[in-house]
Amino acid sequence: MDSLDNLYREIILDHYKNPRNKGLVTDPGYVTVRIKNPSCGDEITVQTRLEDGKIGDCRHEGKGCSICCSSASVMTETMIGKPLETAHAVAANYLNMVSGKPFDPAVDLEEAEVYAGVRQFPARVKCASIAWQAFLQTLEKK
């Protein structure tokens, strides 16, 4: 069960059971993006508030499997406080990492690095990606 253990890492399970920055706000200062995965019904909403060129706050809400929900939680923790440019680079790098594309190991993904195991499960790449894609869209929508 090596690869399964590699997928269900402790940090992932911790964020699944105790999600951080969960719950949406009605503050108009936040940009909101909702992404659905129509093939499995997973659905994640991400909210981002910018502050002085940094990610001032990032929140999430949704339903889905452990990989989907935990990655939303990890994403918010990773992003809060990051300068915009770094946030972009980290998200792009993360998405490349989970989908098995070349990525820059010099970019520090922090806790999100534990999702490297997703590469071995092509069917789960989408689960690990949608919160991060939603985050990038909140930056574009601004």
Residues within the interface to other proteins (CB under 8 A): 1, 3-4, 7-8, 13, 17, 39-42, 63-68, 121, 123-124, 127
Pairing of strands 54-63, 31-37: unpaired
Between residues 22 and 88, which has the closer beta carbon with respect to other proteins?
Answer: 22
Sorted by sequence, the CB contacts under 8 Å of residue 35 that are 6+ apart come out as 43, 44, 45, 46, 130, 131, 133, 134, 137
How many whole angstroms separate alpha carbon 57 and alpha carbon 77?
9
Smallest separation, CB 124 to other proteins (Å): 6
Between residues 26 and 39, which has the closer beta carbon with respect to other proteins?
Answer: 39
Between residues 13 and 25, which has the closer beta carbon with respect to other proteins?
Answer: 13
Smallest separation, CB 63 to other proteins (Å): 6
Smallest separation, CB 95 to other proteins (Å): 19
Residues 83, 47, 45: CA angle, nearest 5 degrees: 135
Smallest separation, CB 17 to other proteins (Å): 6
Between residues 65 and 136, which has the closer beta carbon with respect to other proteins?
Answer: 65
DSSP letter for each residue of 97-136: HHTT----TTS--GGGGGGGGGGG-GGGHHHHHHHHHHHH
